[in-house]
Structure formats: C-alpha cells, structure tokens
Amino acid sequence: PLFLFLLVALLSVVYSFFIHPNFKTAIVSFGGRRLLFLLLNCLAIFYITVYLLQDEKNLKRLLHIGFVVGTIASSYALLQYGGIEPIWPMQLDPFGTRSVSTFGNPNFLASYLMLILPVVAVLAVYEKSLLKKVFLGGLFVINFFGLLVTRTRSAWLGLFVALVFVAFYLSCYQRSLISRNRKWLFLLVGILFLMMLYPVRFDEQKGKRVRAVTVVFEKVKSIIDFKQMAYVQRFLIWQSAYSMFKESPVLGHGWGNFEIIYPFHQGKFLRIKEYSPFRTHANNTHNEILEIASQTGIVGLGIYIWLFIIFFKTGIGSYRKLDNEHDRIVALGLLGSILGMLVDNLLNVSLHFPMPALLFWVWMGLVVGISQGREISERRIPVKKSVVLPLGIVLAGVVIFNIRYFRGEFHYFKGFKYAKNSATLAKAARECELSYKSYPLNVDNNYELGNAYARLGEKEKAIRAYLKAIDANPGYDEIYSNLGIMYGQTNRIPEAIEALIKSIEINPLSASTRSYLGQVYIGKKEWEKAAEQYREILELEPENAKAKTNLSYVQAQMEKKPSPPTQEIDLLFERGEGYVKNRDWNRAEETYRKIVNLLPGSIKAHLYLGNVYFSEGKIEKAINQYEKIIELSPVFNTGAHNNLGLAYLELKKVELAKEEFEKVLKVDPGNEVARRKLQEIESGSGGE
C-alpha cells in the first residue's frame, strides 16, 4: 500500500496540472517538495528501519536514540517553562507560555514526545530491575512534563488513547505484568496527577511566589469546548478543505498543493460572521483525513486507510504471537504510539513536518521489522552499489537545493530589513534580486521585490516581480491587489480588473481592494459595478466615510438622465486652463467649481480648483480641495500631499506641513519638492 499511495500521490500532482493550468510553476514547487518529503522522510525511513532490524541490536539503538532526543528536548522545554533560555541570546516566545524547545513549534515537540511516552511506559512495566524501573520512570516523568508544558491538547488526547490501547492489550494478553507492577502503576498515576496541577511561569505571577492553577485540567476540559477560537478557525479550514474535496473528489487537487488552492475555497466562507475574524493562510488542514482527501481524493484516502488497517492487523497479530517477551512489549508500545499519533493528527499537522514524521515512520518500520520475527545475531549489513549511487545523487540534489534555498533566505531577510527604511529601498531591491537568483520560487522575496520597486516608482519592474510571486504561490490576495494597483497606474485597465477580482475572490473582506476596484470602474463609467463594490465595503465597514462619499457620487451618476457630455467637460477644462494662463483667477475659480459640481468624483477637477484657491490666497479652501483629493484617491497621491504641505506652510502650520512632506518621502524618497521643503523647515527658513 505504501508504494501504491506514492503512485496515487504522483498521479494526483500530474492531474492537478490539468485542473489548475495557471498554477503549473507552483505545483512543481509544492508538489515536488511534498513528493520528495514522502519519498525520503517517510518511505525511505520506513524501509531503512526495517532493513536495519536485520541486526537485532539496532532495535535498542533506535529506541535509545529516540528516548535521548526526546529527553534532551523535554529538559530544554522545562527550562523554557521556568523562564530560562540557555541557547538563544534573547528569549523567543512566539507561542506565549507554550514551550517549543529546539523544535520551533510546540505542536511538533508534543507529537514527538507523545510517540516515545507509550514505549517508555511499557518498558518500565516490563523491566524487573528496580534501578531500570526507576530510570525509565524518571524518563517518563520528564517527557510527560515536557508534553504538558507544550499545552498541545491534541497530543494529550493522543497519549490518552495510546495508553488506553496499551492497557487494554496488557490486561488481555500480559496480565501478569500489570499484577507485578500494581504498586508502581498507582505511584506513577499519583505523580502524573500532581504534575497536572503545575503552576504558571514565575515571571507571569506579578510578585506572587507560586500560584498553583489547574491549567492542564482547564486545557483538557477545553478539548470538548467547540466554541473556542482555535476550533472556530479549524472549522473554517475543515469546511474549506471539504469544499476542495467536493470540487475534485477522485484524485483531489494534487499532493502538496493544499496551501496554494486553499485560499480560493476559504474565500467562499469568510462572509460567515463566525469565520470572518479567522482568515488564515493555512499550510495544512489540521485533520489527517481531510488532508489526504483534499489532495489525493477518495482514491488516495482509501489506500491510506487500507495501509493502516493492514498495519494494525499485522502488528496486533504479531504482538499476540511473538515469543520474545521484550520484542512483544516493545511492539505493543510502538503500536500504541502510532495509534496516538493518528489521533493527535485529527487536530494536528505534525505528520507532515520532519522531526515528528521521521520518528513516526521509524516506529512504523520497527513494528514491521519486529513482526518479521528475525532474530539474527549481530552481523554486517550489506550495502549494494546499485542502491547507494541513486540515493547519493538524490541526497546531493537535496543538499544543493537547501544551500540555494538558505542563500536565498539570507538575501531576502537583508532585503526585508532594508525595505523598512525608504532611504535604502534600492538596496532592498538589490538583495531581493539576489534572493530571486538563488531561489526563484520563494514567494516572499518576489513579493518584497515588487513592493520595493513599487515604492521606487519602477512600476514595470514591480509588475514583473508580482507576477513571479504569483507563479511561486498564487494564494496571496495581497499580491493580486498590489499587481492590480500597478496595472491601474500604468493604464492597463483590463489586467487591473482581473487581478483585483482575483484578490477579492481570495479575500472578500478587503475594503481597500474593493475601493480601488470601485475607482477603476468609475474611470470606466461602469456605475453599477462601482456601486456594488462600495455597497460591499459599507456592509463590512458601515462607517467608512470614503465609501459613503463614493457611493453617493456613483448613485448620482446613475440617477442622472443625461450624463455630462465629455465634449462639454473637455471644453470647460480648456477654458479654465486659459483663464489660469491669463491669471484671471475669478473666472478660473468659477469654471473649475462648475466642473466639480458636474464631476464631484474628479480628482483632476478638485486639484485644479485647489490650485486656483491657492493662487488667490484662499488657503483654507485650497486645503479642503487637497484633502478631498486624498480622500478620493485609491492610492497615495503624492501631488495632493505636497500641495497640502505647501498650504500649511502658507498658514505657518509648520508641524502639519512637515508631516505631509515626511509622508511623501516615505512613499517617494526621491521627491525633490518634499525633500527641499523639509530641508528649509529644518534650517528654519521654511516657516515660523
């Protein structure tokens, strides 16, 4: 079944090229990586483990390696829990009070510990030596406490199921072990109960020495509280994943493609009130059944379930028949661990991340190796050249890939740092370009490259970078939105509309994207489409003043019987420009006021009227016009902010003027007017 599942995963990726023809580059990237992960981190590990058990001593070696890694990780987690961070120069706490150890994520650490605890437990029951019992009991306590401080409820549930499974089979087939260890088991249960009353961190107690709280009990109780925020977000992910499955039920959307397809299905559910605050860019489903079904369809899910039915049937059958008592008890612990991991992954994603997944497939291999019943004494395991060469080529490719990837990450983070300062935007763009050359399929570096070029005013380069970002990962609404804005600013209106609509499909809650799309429709005089966008914005944000103003303007245009003829408007603009040229300010003002009345949404009309007011010395009226332009503009209007700054200087409102010029330089660092005026203000010659 394993190789059959690999084949179906490969077929699902090939099939995804046909159902998502515009996402081919991303499919190669995401599908390729996940297929490689499945091959190397899962199947290869499984078969290597089975192969290693030809030497019976490797069973203990592999178990001991797993225990040592887990105990070191747990010890580190307990130090973090106590507020001690021995390795990192500063305390990293992205998960609040949840310990992560060296795993980077508490969920991954929890799954790893959950895998070793049932095996440690059964070995403690099996051993007759008091010293070994105490040692293994100590290991269990350390790793159990390590699991507790991750505060990962799904792993707790998995451990509970694993221990119940182990206890059931012990009571049925090895009852003598329970009778022999009755006192130890009662003592262990008592210790575990006391540990579940563990206190909060000392640095969070605000002066109190110790405040014992039932944090664990509260978390356990919350497992069945489906109103919790974490569950609501998971329900959103699950509903979207099920929508993916329904859309392509036979072979799914392609192994590894969940992240790039999910956002388009999530968008369908974000208008549901309960889900709207929980929009996320999910990498996985947090449910193994939906994970497999959404990506490989009913075919892949059927084979996956078949795989574990065969595995447990074979494993339990072997456990009941094995003569070697040690192997028998280890097999039971491993079976419990694997069952617990599957339960954990009904609410978790750790089967798809390296460390917990690697141990899971080692444990699977150990069960199969034990079940084969090979009791061969220590021997040299032959290694065939026909196996080594292809494996060496694959591993060399993986090493080269990772070197290029991390080199790209290095340049990306340098670029990201430079991008925070408008004065170093050119350096940011250069670093992101280097990142792209090292690893072109990184969505982050391409997106930041596009942002840097957009802020530098290099719109065509920005468009190219955004398109590369979409090739790398088409699931980000922000990229489509920024691409649409760039298309709009280069007067490529059909492309702008297409990109903005795609952005809204992914994130229908984005008022800014809808606002810009509304402006594009106004420019095309497609009043009904513009009105629809502003109505949607007001449904999301009822007090949005800009949307109210624009909707009123659009509705006024829709109600007008004859629209103002373009020829008449052009004639008025021409006449106004003539009056300005002759410095006939009164007639110029009258003309532009007439245009504003006819076209209240015209940025150009407000700008010309504001400039006339400025020339007449009617500064307050000029300010009103410039502010109106800023309100109407879908993107930052450099000219309006500069003019507003100049108007404030005329009124001696130096601080307000300074604010406007600084805003301009943030967006356009090379703006000569803003730079010169700021220098004058700082030198004291720009105002009082």
- Rounded CA gap, 20 and 23, in Å? 6
pLDDT of residue 634: 66
CATH of the domain at 449: 1.25.40.10
Q: Any residues with CB less than 8 A from the CB of 420 and at least 6 apart, and which? A: none
Q: Is the pLDDT of residue 203 over 50?
A: no
The most confident of the ranges 181-195, 376-390, 430-444, 550-564 is 430-444
How distant, in Å, are the alpha carbons of 111, 308, 316, 332, 590 from that of 336?
A: 13, 13, 10, 6, 85
What is the mean pLDDT of the segment spanning 199-221? 45
Secondary structure letter of residue 200 according to DSSP? P
Nearest to 225 by CA among 153, 288, 145: 153
Q: Is the pLDDT of residue 211 over 50?
A: no
In a domain, 48, yes or no: no
Nearest to 655 by CA among 612, 687, 607, 621: 687
Residues 313 and 455 in one domain: no
- Rounded CA gap, 545 and 525, in Å? 21
Question: Which spans in 322-442 are helix H?
Answer: 325-344, 354-371, 385-419, 425-438
Query: Is residue 277 within a helix (H) or strand (E), and if so which, with residue range?
Result: none
Owner of token pair 């010395």: 617
The sign one gets for the Cα dihedral 537, 538, 540, 541 is positive
% of the chain residues with pLDDT over 90: 54
Residues 367 and 218 in one domain: yes
Contact 397, 40 (CB under 8 A): no
SS3 at position 490: coil
Q: What is the pLDDT of residues 652-671, one digit of tens each?
A: 999 999 999 888 888 777 78
In a domain, 46, yes or no: no
Residues 329 and 187 in one domain: yes
- Rounded CA gap, 73 and 81, in Å? 12
In a domain, 384, yes or no: no
pLDDT of residue 276: 86
In a domain, 20, yes or no: yes
Lowest mean pLDDT segment, chosen from 101-115, 312-326, 626-640: 626-640
pLDDT of residue 378: 43
Tokens of residue 118, six digits: 């049932």
Nearest to 302 by CA among 1, 38, 688: 1
- Rounded CA gap, 601 and 564, in Å? 13
In a domain, 385, yes or no: no
- Rounded CA gap, 546 and 554, in Å? 12
- Rounded CA gap, 399 and 434, in Å? 20
Lowest mean pLDDT segment, chosen from 303-317, 441-455, 557-571: 557-571
Residue 224 has a CB neighbour count (10 Å cut-off) of: 9
- Rounded CA gap, 665 and 645, in Å? 12
pLDDT of residue 194: 63
Nearest to 112 by CA among 149, 148, 69: 69
Residues 585 and 534 in one domain: no
What is the mean pLDDT of the segment spanning 110-133? 92
Tokens of residue 219, six digits: 């978390």
Give the model's confidence band at 679: pLDDT under 50 very low, under 70 low, under 90 confident, else very high.
confident
- Rounded CA gap, 169 and 188, in Å? 19
Kindly report the backbone phi and psi dihedral angles of residue 151, in degrees, each rounded to the nearest multiple of 5, phi listed first: 55, 40
User: How many domains, in total, are found in the chain?
Assistant: 4
Contact 5, 300 (CB under 8 A): yes
pLDDT of residue 668: 76
pLDDT of residue 609: 93
pLDDT of residue 100: 83
Residues 96 and 186 in one domain: yes
Residues 69 and 7 in one domain: no
Tokens of residue 584, six digits: 């006939």
Q: What is the pLDDT of residues 536-559, one digit of tens each?
A: 999 899 898 889 988 888 888 887
Residues 190 and 115 in one domain: yes
The residue out of 321, 351, 366 marking a domain boundary is 321
Tokens of residue 444, six digits: 């982050």
Residue 349: exposure state from Cβ atoms within 10 A (0-12, 13-18, ≥19): buried
Angle between helices 258-266 and 288-321 (to 10 degrees): 130
Residues 516 and 632 in one domain: no
The sign one gets for the Cα dihedral 585, 586, 589, 595 is negative
- Rounded CA gap, 270 and 44, in Å? 40
Residues 306 and 177 in one domain: no
Q: Is the pLDDT of residue 202 over 80?
A: no
Of 142 and 86, the structure prediction assigns the larger pLDDT to 142
- Domain coverage including residue 517: 392-559
Residues 295 and 306 in one domain: yes
Residues 197 and 303 in one domain: no
- Rounded CA gap, 233 and 300, in Å? 26
Question: Which spans in 100-228 are helix H?
Answer: 106-126, 130-150, 153-173, 175-180, 182-195, 215-221
Give the model's confidence band at 50: pLDDT under 50 very low, under 70 low, under 90 confident, else very high.
very high
Nearest to 485 by CA among 454, 443, 529, 439: 454
Give the model's confidence band at 387: pLDDT under 50 very low, under 70 low, under 90 confident, else very high.
low
pLDDT of residue 561: 47
Q: Any residues with CB less than 8 A from the CB of 309 and at least 6 apart, and which? A: none
Secondary structure letter of residue 204 according to DSSP? G
Query: Is residue 556 within a helix (H) or strand (E), and if so which, with residue range?
Result: helix 545-559
Q: What length is written for the chain? A: 688
Residue 443: exposure state from Cβ atoms within 10 A (0-12, 13-18, ≥19): buried
What is the mean pLDDT of the segment spanning 565-576? 80
What is the mean pLDDT of the segment spanning 155-165? 94
SS3 at position 441: coil
Residues 453 and 576 in one domain: no
Contact 687, 649 (CB under 8 A): yes
* Helix, strand, coil percentages for the chain (3-state, nearest 5): 75, 0, 25
**Mean pLDDT computed over every residue of the chain:** 86
- Rounded CA gap, 157 and 149, in Å? 15
The sign one gets for the Cα dihedral 589, 491, 642, 512 is positive
SS3 at position 616: helix
Residue 169: exposure state from Cβ atoms within 10 A (0-12, 13-18, ≥19): middle
Contact 119, 337 (CB under 8 A): yes
What is the mean pLDDT of the segment spanning 149-168? 92
Tokens of residue 307, six digits: 């795989």
In a domain, 79, yes or no: yes
In a domain, 516, yes or no: yes
Q: Any residues with CB less than 8 A from the CB of 167 and at least 6 apart, and which? A: 178
pLDDT of residue 20: 95
% of the chain residues with pLDDT over 70: 88
Owner of token pair 């039932």: 214
In a domain, 38, yes or no: no
Contact 493, 487 (CB under 8 A): yes
Nearest to 52 by CA among 380, 275, 400: 380
- Rounded CA gap, 283 and 515, in Å? 29
Q: Is the pLDDT of residue 12 over 70?
A: yes
Query: Is residue 287 within a helix (H) or strand (E), and if so which, with residue range?
Result: none
Contact 528, 559 (CB under 8 A): no
The residue out of 280, 306, 321 marking a domain boundary is 321
Angle between helices 106-126 and 153-173 (to 10 degrees): 20
DSSP per residue, 511-534 = HHHHHHHHHHHHHTT-HHHHHHHH
Tokens of residue 288, six digits: 């193994």
The residue out of 296, 321, 346 marking a domain boundary is 321
Q: What is the pLDDT of residues 214-237, one digit of tens each?
A: 445 455 555 455 455 667 889 999
What is the mean pLDDT of the segment spanning 15-38? 95
- Rounded CA gap, 96 and 363, in Å? 31
The most confident of the ranges 13-17, 132-136, 612-616 is 13-17
pLDDT of residue 204: 44
Of 177 and 605, the structure prediction assigns the larger pLDDT to 605
What is the mean pLDDT of the segment spanning 521-547? 90
Lowest mean pLDDT segment, chosen from 70-74, 486-490, 582-586, 631-635: 631-635
